[in-house]
Amino acid sequence: MFAKGTKRKFSDPGEEPALGAELGPVVRPLSSTYSLQRQSLLDMSLIKLQLCHMLVEPNLCRSVLIANTVRQIQEEMTQDGTWQIMTQALAAAQCPADRLVATEVLCRPSEALAAAQKEEEEEEVVVAAAMEEDVDSEANPLSSSSFLPAPFGAEPGWEDEEDDSEDEDSEECPSDAEDVPDSRRGDQVFGTFEIKHPAPPPDPALEELFSDVDPSYYDLDTVLTGMQSTPKMGPYDLLDSLSPHAAPALSTGTSCRSDLNELDHIMEIIS
């Protein structure tokens, strides 16, 4: 039941208060142990939100509870002041040089993504998550999950687009990460639920969605980026990702496209 190979400090009574233990509202130790544990919980929660079996609709109750946990952590980190540090560090990180080692805690078995073009095919995600044990700074640009959508990686046209827009997008990235509007918080999680559900034919929300789509919709780059950063969405959620809200943050493509999109993706969820 317990993850193997990971140091567990949570239930040790002699140490600092653990995450699962009682914490008074006033007593909030900013000790490194607590911060690490909190960060680990945040990472775990984000991955849980993203790793959904897409053959069957995900359990809404579970998703809501996890999202609330994420929000709670974020609020606490905002109060601590550690949130700003982390977002700045995430923005500054262009290309995490090290491909981070998967820990038992945070990853599922890395199965090769099916190369099939079928829409019903379940997407498996290769998660490379990390917990840097660097206690000095809380500003660890970590816990990024990389998604490898094989269907898109296989297309030759995609490679060309990537090279062309590389320079342009690497400049855009920092500003994008910081400008994430709060309105998109939870959008990736619940917006998809919203769009998925069959709406009555004259749905004002959907019509508005279509009316605001800008010409970048036709840009292959945007389309594929949109697909890539939210691999768990079905075919109809492409529309959601192409909405004006999502488009700016997603229209980046760099040589480290996948990493930046992960960061953006995480920013959108947690901000």
Partner 1 sequence: MGEDTDAPLTPLNHRGFLPDHNYVTEADIISTVEFNHTGELLATGDKGGRVVIFQREPESKNELFSQGEYNVYSTFQSHEPEFDYLKSLEIEEKINKIRWLPQQNAAHFLLSTNDKTIKLWKVSERDKRPEGYNLKDEEGRIKDLSTVTSLQVPVLKPMDLMVEVSPRRLFANAHTYHVNSISVNSDYQTYMSADDLRINLWHLDITDRSFNIVDIKPVNMEDLTEVITAAEFHPHHCNLFVYSSSKGTLRLCDMREAALCDKHSKLFEEPEDPSSRSFFSEIISSVSDVKFSHSGRYLLTRDYLTAKVWDLNMESKPLETYQVHDYLRSKLCSLYENDCIFDKFECAWNGSDSVIMTGAYNNFFRMFDRNTKRDVTLEASRESSKPRAVLKPRRVCAAGGKRRKDDISVDSLDFTKKILHTAWHPTENIIAIAATNNLYIFQDKLNSEMH
Which two structure tokens, joined as six digits, stand for 14?
Answer: 């002699």
Nearer to partner 1 by C-beta: 53 or 99? Answer: 53
Q: Residue 117 — φ and ψ, nearest 5°? A: -90, 0
**Is 119 an interacting residue with respect to partner 1 (CB under 8 A)?**
yes
Q: Which of 137, 139, 136, 35 is nearest to 93 (CA)?
A: 139
Distances (CA, A) of 201 to 51, 75, 132, 207, 241: 31, 39, 50, 10, 21
Cβ distance 214 to 184 under 8 Å? no
Per-residue binder mask for partner 1 (CB under 8 A), 70-109, x = binder = --xx-------------------------------x----
State the nearest-atom distance from the C-beta of 204 to partner 1, in Å. 12
Among 88, 174, 190, 239, binds partner 1 (CB under 8 A): 190
State the nearest-atom distance from the C-beta of 97 to partner 1, in Å. 28
**Is 126 an interacting residue with respect to partner 1 (CB under 8 A)?**
no
Q: In angstroms, rounded to a whole number, what is the distance separating the alpha carbons of residues 217 and 214?
A: 6
Sorted by sequence, the CB contacts under 8 Å of residue 246 that are 6+ apart come out as 184, 187, 226, 240
Footprint of partner 1 (CB under 8 A): 1-3, 8, 10-11, 18-25, 37-38, 41, 44, 48, 54-57, 59-62, 64-65, 67-69, 72-73, 105, 119-120, 183-187, 190-191, 193-194, 196-198, 234-236
